[in-house]
Amino acid sequence: MPDPNGFLRYERRLPARRPVAVRITDWREVYPPAGEELIREQATRCMDCGIPFCHDGCPLGNRIPDWNDLVRTGSWDAAVESLHATNNFPEFTGRLCPAPCEAACVLGLGGQQPVTIKQVEVEIADAAVARGGLNPRPVPASTGRSVAVVGSGPAGLAAAQQLARAGHAVTVYERDDAIGGLLRYGIPDFKLEKQHIDRRLAQLAAEGVQFRTGVNVGVDVTAEELRARHDAVLLACGALQGRDTPETPGRPLRGVHQAMTHLVAANRVVAAAGDGRPAPAVLPDGTPIDAAGRHVVIIGGGDTAADCLGVAHRQGAAGVHQLDLYPEPPHGRDAERDPWPTWPWVLRNYPAHEEGGERVFAVAVQEFVDDGTGQVRGVRIAEVTVERRDGRRIVTALPGSERELPADLVLLAIGFEGTEEQPLLAQFGVTRNARGAVDARPDWQTDADGVFVAGDMHRGASLIVWAIAEGRAAAAAIHSYLGGVGDLPAPVDPARQPLAAR
Ligand SMILES: Cc1cc2nc3c(=O)[nH]c(=O)nc-3n(C[C@H](O)[C@H](O)[C@H](O)COP(=O)(O)OP(=O)(O)OC[C@H]3O[C@@H](n4cnc5c(N)ncnc54)[C@H](O)[C@@H]3O)c2cc1C
Ligand code: SF4
């Protein structure tokens, strides 16, 4: 029986992050393990609500009060089982999810701090490894049906695991040189060390999933060939079309890049060093993949921008400014605008923000300034107001507010415009909608029969937890399309939206 007074006895506490001065000298994860005593104390704060609103915040339908109570009583094996019943990869979400479940925790309604759900999750996920590893669950009998999964991010991998465990032969095709999607080279090691991906891949391989890297579907193998080889296809190619700002004067200057160009290259350098491979030192255009001694300006306020900030400090940047078009958000929930249990608009401080740099809100870049040689020297910014009129965003610069910031390296982290336009789309006969995403029917099929879609490619740039949820749901639909016996879990349908007030 859970402790109904646990939250009155214990404050919310998280393990201390590694000291800034130490962690910016390496690429290791920022958080050390919490330790059993702290995490059992924190799990005790869960009230096991009759109506657990944390469930509504999480698209996976994680059994949060169940595993909180199992951790409270030290029943780790049962907690591992319970967590994996709804989430294929809790070691990813436990480390990386912004935790909409915590925003929806009932404790928040009474002005208390929510349960540290995400920390409990990652401790259970790591306990699974510590207590004997991630045991594969191969199926005894094959269905004789086969599925191609295109793209190896969390959506593709979750679907692959579900389908393999249902007895289908699954092959994952990935154009990159390593499996993992954005988890591999998009998200830096200080947020997710890559051994977590490798352990899971070993489990999937032991369950029969085949991996083909370096295969760009639509180029190296045609859609027609893939359809001939497999009974169904799942497209999980992400939403990697970076937004740009071609109209801003000076955009073509050297040193002005899409954030992902710099970030992925920097993460590859870390990966290569870890494997003892020689690391590439420059981008294809000759730009050094290094912020050492440089003044860096990051434009944007989300995950990508924060990851660029952490990378810039680890590379030894002389200084970093992070620019945001919008005013500084409130530091706590504005209950009028975003009432509990919805996801609130608040100032999000990532660990990278503790490490230095200056955040500048309510400004827009007017020009990237040339040093006279074609290399960026600075960015000219103006203070702005942003309004919505007839659904359109109107940005107005305040006269006389312009100033220049020094910049040798400018990273555009201003969002994504959906899935990339690439040959695979036309070959499969699917189109991008107005948001650049690929629509799914209620059974996750695209306009092409037998071709399914999931993850960011369907939803637009989103979160790992949604990618896993959609991968699981699409796998259930494919299993049923192939005439599989019984139902697989389908936590979301294609129309499901996050819990929001507006
Ligand atoms: C820098 C950054 C940081 C982020 N941080 C977080 C975070 O902290 N927490 C969080 O929840 N979310 C975060 N996200 C979002 C999260 O990473 C994505 O929502 C998630 O990875 C989407 O998963 P996916 O499987 O749909 O696609 P992806 O992970 O994008 O994987 C798609 C894969 O498809 C492959 N592919 C594309 N076309 C082809 C083709 N023709 N043939 C073969 N392969 C192909 C791509 O190479 C890629 O590997 C972050 C995103 C970015 C960019
Ligand atoms: S809403 Fe919070 S307190 Fe209630 S069951 Fe979920 S985690 Fe526990």
The model's confidence at residue 279, banded by pLDDT at 50, 70 and 90, is confident
Strands 256-258 and 295-299: unpaired
pTM of the complete model beyond 0.95 = yes
Are the C-beta atoms of residues 160 and 149 closer than 8 Å to each other? yes
In Å, how far are 71, 332, 342, 378 from 114, measured between CA atoms?
17, 13, 13, 43
Task: Kindly report, residue by residue over 302-352, the tens digit of the pLDDT.
Answer: 999 999 999 999 999 999 999 999 999 999 999 999 999 999 999 999 999
Are the C-beta atoms of residues 212 and 230 closer than 8 Å to each other? no
Say which amino acid occupies 74.
G
The mean pLDDT value for 481-488 works out to 96
Minimum-distance ligand 2 atom for the alpha carbon of 53? 1
Q: Which numbered ligand comes closest to the C-alpha of 44?
A: 2
Are the C-beta atoms of residues 222 and 341 closer than 8 Å to each other? no
Query: Which residue bears the tokens 């790992």?
Result: 464
Task: Kindly report, residue by residue over 370-393, the tens digit of the pLDDT.
Answer: 999 999 999 999 999 999 998 899
- pLDDT score recorded for residue 373: 96
β-partners of residue 406 are 378
CA of 431 to the centre of ligand 1 (A): 19
Q: Which numbered ligand comes closest to the C-alpha of 235?
A: 1
The model's confidence at residue 160, banded by pLDDT at 50, 70 and 90, is very high
Residue-wise DSSP of 125-137: HHHHHHTT-----
Q: Which numbered ligand comes closest to the C-alpha of 304?
A: 1
- pLDDT score recorded for residue 289: 81
Query: Which residue bears the tokens 């890559």?
Result: 194
CA of 293 to the centre of ligand 2 (A): 47
CA of 192 to the centre of ligand 2 (A): 26
Report the percent of the chain where pLDDT is more than 70: 100
Res 275 pLDDT > 70? yes
Mean pLDDT check: name the lowest of 96-105, 114-123, 169-178, 386-395: 386-395
3-state secondary structure of 198: helix
The model's confidence at residue 502, banded by pLDDT at 50, 70 and 90, is low
Is the Cβ atom of 355 under 6 angstroms away from ligand 1? no
Say which amino acid occupies 478.
I
Separation between Cα atoms, residue 286 and residue 265, nearest integer Å: 12
